A and B are shown apart, each in its own frame.
Chain A
Amino acid sequence: MTPIVSTPGVRTPLIPPSTHPYAEVIHRLEAGGSMLPDTPENLQQIIGIYKAYAVPMDFYWRDLLYIAERVFLNPLPAFKYFISKEYLDLPNSYAGDQSKLRIWRGGEKAHPELLEFMERGETRRMPKLLHHLWHDRVNMEFAEACMQAMFWHQGMGGRFNDFLESDVYKANADRAIKAYFKGNLVMLGLYKLFPDMFMEQVKQLSFYANLGLFWEVMAPVFFEMSDLYDEGKLTSVPEAMDFLVNGIFAVAGRPIYHHVFIRGECFEIIPKSEGFTWLYEAALPYVEAVFYRTSPFRGTKSYNAQAYQVPADQADFHYGILYADVFPVGSAGIPPTLLMQDMLHFLPPYLQELYKQHRRGEEDQLIQLGITFQRSMYNVTSAVIQALRCALLYPLDDTDPEHLAANRRFFEAQMDRFLRPEARLADIQTQDYR
C-alpha cells in the first residue's frame, strides 16, 4: 500500500507507487509489513522454527564463548565442543532474574530441552564421548561456519575489523598468547617463527566471541516469541517483525568484546571500553555475512570461478539462506543441513503436524523445515530493514514527501539485492513453496 494522507472523502498518495519489480513487497514494507506475507500459516511456521532454532542456539552461544575465552589457542582442541559446566550454567545477560534488562522472561541457564537432548541425543543415554563420536549431538560446526563467514567476509560495517588490525589489538593479543603458552617453549618458539599465523587465530577467536555475544541475545528473544505465540499474544507476521525490531533497539548498545581467561587471569583482547556495540559490530555484519553472502558449500555443486560462476567481488556473494535452494543444500555435513538437523530435534508439535500434511510428509521434513527457516529469516531480515529505516530514516507515517521518497529509495535498494535469480523472495510470497 502506498503511504497516503487521509482527508475526508479523499485519499491522496503523497508519492507515486513504486515501479520496482518487487513493488508489492515494497508497498507492504511501507505499510509497516514484512517481506513475508501476513498469513496465519506463515506466522505459525516462523514462530515454530524460531523456537526450534533457539534451543541449539542456546548451546551455540555458550560454546562459542567457551572456545573464545577458555579453549583459546589450544593446538589440539579435540574437546572444544565439550562445553564446561560453568559455561552451560553461564547466566544469560538478557534472561533470568540477574539480567539488568529484564524484558524477556527466559531463565538464565541452558534451556531444559537442550539439557535433555545433550543427555539422550537421538539414540539413548550414553557417555558424552560416544555421543560426540556418533555425531549424536548439537552441530557446533554450523555455528563455526557462521563465524567463519563473518571472519572471511569482513568489511561489512562497524569498526570491529579495523580494530583487529590496530596496534592496540596486536599488543593485547600478544600478551594473551605469551601468557597462554607460558612455559611451553615449543609453542612460544613457533609463535616467534610465525607470529602472523597466531595473530590470525586470535582474530578468528575474536569472531567466536562476537558471534557468541550476538546469539546470547537472540536465543531469549526467540524463546519469548514462541511463548507469546503459544499464549495468543503474537497474532500476525508484522507483530512478530515489530517484536524483533524492538528487540534490536533494546540491545543495540550491548558491548561486544573478547576476554580470555588464562590461569585465573582475565586478558582483555577487545575491552568493552572500545565501545563496540551489538548492533554495529555484531548484528549487521552477521546478517550481511550469514543471511546474504556466506560462501559456496563444498560438496553440493561445482562452481567454475574462472567462468565467473563465483563473483569476483565478495560483496556479490549470494550463498546465504535468503538465496539458498534448500533441496540440493540438504546434503549431509554442510552447514545449513547441520542446522536443519539441529532444529529437527526441537520442532514444536504443530510444525511436525504441518510437515506431515505436505509433500512427502516425514520423509522430507528437513527440506520443509529448511524452507520454513528461509521464510523466518526473510522476516528477521525485514525486521533489520525496518530497524535501519527507523534508526536512519523516517517514520512510515511521515507527511513530508521527500522523507517518504527517501524511505522508498532505501526499501528499493534493499529489494534490488533480491533481483538476482537465486533469491527466494518471490517464492516465499506463496504458500506452495515448501
Chain B
Amino acid sequence: MASILETALAAGAFNTLLAAVDAAGLRGALEGPGPFTVFAPVDDAFAALPPGTVQTLVDNPPQLARILKYHVLAGAHGRTDLVAQSEWPSLEGAPIPIRCSEPFEVKNATVVTADIACDNGIVHVIDRVILPG
C-alpha cells in the first residue's frame, strides 16, 4: 500500500496540496508512521480561493502549516467512525465539524471520495479548503 503523500501524487489532482505540504515543511511529518486522517482538498478547491490567498500562505510557511494542519486528524478514521461524532480535534487545535447525516460533509466541504486507505492513514477527498473558525 502507498503512503498518504504517494497516494495523493498518484491521483494527480492534488498538485497544489502537495506543493503546499512541501512549502510548509510538513512532508517529513506526513511521511511518518502516523496514522493520520487527511482531508485533502483537490486543486480546484485551492484555485477557487481569491487571488493572492495561496501565495501569501506559501510565502509564510508557519501560517501555511497552521491551515494545512486543520485538514489533519491524529489516527486513522474512516467515514463510519467520523460520522459517529459531530466534532473532531484537528492537529491545528481547532475542532472540525462533521455532518452526521447524508451527504458526508466536513465543515463546509463535501467529501467527494471517502476512505482511501493508505499505509499511514486514511484520505478523504474534499471539494473545498476548510478554514478554522
Contacts and interface: CB of A to CB of B under 8 A. Distances in A.
A16 interface: no
Contact of A249 (B49, B60, B108, B133): B49
Given A249-B53, A277-B63, 20 more contacts: A100-B55, A101-B52, A157-B133, A245-B50, A246-B50, A246-B51, A249-B49, A249-B50, A250-B52, A251-B52, A251-B56, A253-B60, A255-B62, A255-B63, A272-B62, A273-B62, A274-B62, A277-B66, A392-B108, A392-B133
B65 interface: yes
Interface residues of A, number: 28
Interface of A: 100-101, 103, 157, 159, 245-246, 249-255, 272-277, 280, 284, 388, 391-394, 403
Contacts of B52: 101, 103, 246, 249-251
Contacts of B108: 392-394, 403
Interface string B54-73: 01110110111111000000
The 8 closest A-B pairs by CB, nearest first: A250-B52, A253-B57, A249-B50, A275-B66, A275-B62, A246-B50, A253-B63, A253-B56
Interface of B: 49-53, 55-57, 59-60, 62-67, 93, 107-108, 131-133
Contacts of A280: 132-133
Contacts of A392: 107-108, 131, 133
A419 B51 CA distance: 35
A101 B50 contact: no
A388 B59 CA distance: 23
Contact of B51 (A100, A103, A272, A277): A103
B133 A254 contact: no
Contacts of B64: 253
26 contacts: A100-B56, A100-B59, A101-B56, A101-B59, A157-B133, A159-B93, A245-B50, A246-B51, A246-B52, A249-B52, A250-B52, A250-B56, A251-B52, A252-B57, A254-B56, A254-B60, A254-B63, A272-B62, A275-B62, A275-B63, A275-B65, A276-B63, A284-B133, A391-B131, A392-B131, A394-B108
Nearest to B61: A273
Contacts of B107: 392
Most buried by B among A103, A272, A277: A277
Contacts of B57: 252-253
B13 to A, nearest CB: 21
Given A246-B50, A249-B53, A392-B107, A255 B133 contact: no
Contacts, number: 67
Contact of A255 (B49, B51, B60, B67): B60
A57 B53 CA distance: 23
B97 to A, nearest CB: 10
Contacts of A251: 52, 56
Contacts of A252: 53, 56-57
Contacts of B49: 249
B100 to A, nearest CB: 12
A250 B67 contact: no
Nearest to A391: B131
Nearest to A406: B108
B96 to A, nearest CB: 12
Nearest to A256: B63
Most buried by A among B56, B59, B67: B56
Nearest to B59: A100
Contacts of B51: 103, 246, 250
